[in-house]
């Protein structure tokens, strides 16, 4: 039986969820959310841990979501620590706040268990400002491989929702020249990335790309 049906139902509705069949068959034993080093006040990011039945070939799954405190008129919410949150990908100021947080913390935060979430820049902000277009706009985000187009003082974002653990760095970093030639009416998807890794054993989870 699913311990938290509302949370399971929310995850089931997300296109990026890769354990929908297990939810449908009631094979979820527990859904929990990790305590993050920057959980002061409202959360900005959450990492969830899904425990499946022990008979499952891969009994532990992780997912990462940028989140924002739900407003009164928002109904598609996920409850975390008793508070309602929404997927924050479409909040125009979200990644400005996240980037500012990392700048204030030397581009890295450390979890109590020793894991680090580190921001690495690929393209300098001056380059982004030079190539953005006044026609740039936010786009609806419904799946993990969606790119946000951005306007003034905003940043392109792509997120890999499911964390895949490996000892290799995620190779999916690219600049799209075609989009650059089109004056960024849709911005290139990659300006930097967030890496979740454990320095002690060199284990890494591919995570957000912004």
Residue 104 neighbours by CB under 8 Å, 6+ apart: none
pLDDT digits (tens, 9 = 90+) for 8-54: 898 888 877 778 888 888 888 888 887 766 666 677 777 788 888 87
DSSP class of residue 16 equals: T
3-state per-residue secondary structure call for 67-105? EEECCCCCCCCEEECCEEEEEHHHCCCHHHHHHHHHHHC
Q: Which two tokens stand for residue 162?
A: 């499911």
More confidently predicted of 199 and 176: 199
Tokens 């964390």 correspond to 163
- The per-residue pLDDT for 146 is 36
pTM of the full predicted structure?
Answer: 0.58
Q: Which two tokens stand for residue 75?
A: 């109904």
| Cα–Cα distance, 119 to 38 (Å, whole number) | 14
- The per-residue pLDDT for 81 is 83
- The per-residue pLDDT for 83 is 87
More confidently predicted of 126 and 164: 126
Annotated domain spans of the chain: 5-88, 90-209
More confidently predicted of 173 and 94: 94
Which of 70-79, 90-99, 125-134 has the least mean pLDDT?
125-134
Q: What is the mean pLDDT of residues 162-185?
A: 35
pLDDT digits (tens, 9 = 90+) for 139-164: 333 333 433 333 333 333 443 333 33
Q: Please report the sign of the dihedral spanned by the C-alpha atoms of residue 76, residue 77, residue 78, residue 82.
A: negative
- Tell me which range, 57-66, 153-162, 173-182, is most confidently predicted by mean pLDDT: 57-66
Reduce the DSSP state of residue 31 to 3 states and report it.
strand
- Tell me which range, 77-91, 145-159, 172-186, 191-205, is most confidently predicted by mean pLDDT: 77-91
- The per-residue pLDDT for 126 is 60
pLDDT band at 57 (very low <50, low <70, confident <90, very high): confident
Q: Which of 162, 193, 165, 189 is nearest to 177 (CA)?
A: 189
């Amino acid at each position: 039986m699913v311990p938290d049906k509302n949370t399971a139902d929310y995850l089931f509705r997300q296109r990026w969820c890769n354990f929908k069949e297990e939810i449908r068959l009631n094979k979820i034993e527990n859904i929990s959310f990790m305590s993050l080093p920057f959980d002061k006040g409202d959360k900005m990011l959450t990492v969830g841990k899904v425990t499946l039945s022990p008979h499952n070939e891969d009994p532990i799954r992780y997912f990462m979501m940028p989140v924002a405190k739900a407003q009164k008129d928002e109904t598609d919410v996920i409850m975390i620590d008793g508070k309602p949150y929404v997927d924050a990908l479409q909040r125009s100021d979200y990644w400005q706040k996240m980037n500012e947080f990392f700048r204030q913390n030397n581009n890295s935060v450390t979890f109590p268990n020793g894991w680090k979430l580190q921001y690495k820049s690929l393209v300098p902000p001056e380059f982004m400002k030079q190539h953005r277009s006044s026609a740039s706009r936010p786009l609806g985000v419904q799946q993990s491989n969606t790119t946000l187009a951005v306007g003034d003082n905003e940043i392109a974002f792509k997120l890999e929702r499911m964390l895949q653990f490996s000892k290799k760095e995620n190779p999916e970093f690219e600049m799209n020249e075609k989009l650059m030639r089109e004056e960024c009416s849709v911005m290139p998807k990659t300006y930097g990335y967030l890496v979740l890794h454990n320095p002690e054993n060199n284990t890494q989870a591919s995570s957000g790309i912004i």
